């Protein structure tokens, strides 16, 4: 479609309808424009809404116990977690990760096709499998997965401390947001992904690099794993 090509795909079907009317004087029903764009595989390339896979159950909210205290004196004292979406080839994958504030290490992550409670629970299970987590603080935002009663019950059974950002305040979870920013600028945005397998492989390679090789000024120019093992020795 000419409009999509000339404007580099920034218009959705409603603006395409207006564009046709202004440029060519065509009066077309917006539903017809939508059907034609869908048939041609044309869609806006920006501002896509994240799919919602949550339920309407009552939310369990927790206080902001972390309170932007982004320092920890030992491993497994303070963890942060979140989910980011990874669009590829007109599809999405979702990356759920847990980061240890002590050394900025990604201690667990899961990549899935659905942004749902199971993805979060699997990430928590992976993070707690080989770690001593009694009294470990796990901070998140107020996403539907983290306010779900099953998530909160899981953390309480593990004797972990639940902490949540204030509503709509991304700075309360700046550590994990910073990691996602590095991942996207240093890895994700540098590739074009044609398949799910390719995307997963590249993300896994970057997280291994981030943990084991990417030095950080905060860690005396050591990688997260180097910092943890050096202090432990």
Residue with tokens 């240093």: 186
For 165-192, the pLDDT digits (tens) are 998 888 999 999 999 999 999 999 999 9
Find how far residue 118's CA is from the centre of its chain: 15
Q: What is the reported pLDDT for 2? A: 55
Beta bridge mates, 80: 99, 139
Domain chopping of the chain, boundaries: 2-39, 78-232
To 5 degrees, how large is the angle CA 168–CA 63–CA 114? Answer: 55
> Whole-number mean pLDDT of the chain?
86
Query: Whole-angstrom Cα distance, residue 31 to residue 17?
Result: 9
- Tokens encoding 111: 């990549």
**In this model, does residue 221 exceed pLDDT 70?**
yes
Beta bridge mates, 222: 216
Query: Whole-angstrom Cα distance, residue 32 to residue 156?
Result: 52
For 82-114, the pLDDT digits (tens) are 999 999 988 999 999 999 999 999 999 999 999
| Nearest to 113, CA basis, from 97, 91, 98 | 91
**In this model, does residue 17 exceed pLDDT 70?**
no
- pTM attached to this predicted model: 0.75
Beta bridge mates, 82: 97
CATH among 3.50.90.10, 3.90.25.10, 3.30.420.10, 3.30.70.1520 for 78-232: 3.30.420.10
């Amino acid at each position: 479609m000419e409009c999509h090509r000339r404007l580099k795909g920034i218009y959705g079907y409603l603006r395409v309808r207006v564009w046709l009317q202004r440029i060519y004087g065509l009066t077309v029903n917006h539903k017809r424009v939508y059907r034609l764009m869908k048939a041609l595989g044309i869609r806006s390339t920006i501002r896509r809404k994240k799919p919602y896979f949550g339920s309407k159950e009552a939310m369990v909210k927790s206080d902001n116990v972390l309170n932007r205290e982004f320092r920890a004196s030992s491993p497994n004292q303070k963890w942060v977690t979140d989910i980011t979406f990874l669009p590829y080839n007109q599809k999405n994958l979702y990356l759920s990760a847990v980061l240890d504030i002590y050394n900025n290490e990604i201690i667990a992550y899961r990549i899935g096709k659905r942004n749902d409670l199971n993805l979060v629970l699997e990430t928590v299970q992976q993070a707690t499998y080989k770690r001593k987590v009694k009294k470990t603080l796990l901070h998140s935002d107020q996403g539907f997965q983290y306010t779900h009663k099953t998530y909160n019950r899981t953390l309480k059974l593990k004797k972990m401390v639940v902490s949540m950002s204030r509503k709509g305040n991304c700075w309360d979870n700046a550590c994990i947001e910073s990691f996602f920013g590095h991942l996207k600028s240093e890895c994700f945005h540098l590739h074009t992904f044609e398949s799910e397998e390719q995307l997963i492989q590249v993300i896994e390679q970057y997280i291994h690099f981030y943990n084991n090789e990417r030095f950080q000024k905060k860690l005396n120019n050591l990688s997260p794993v180097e910092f943890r093992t050096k202090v432990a020795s």
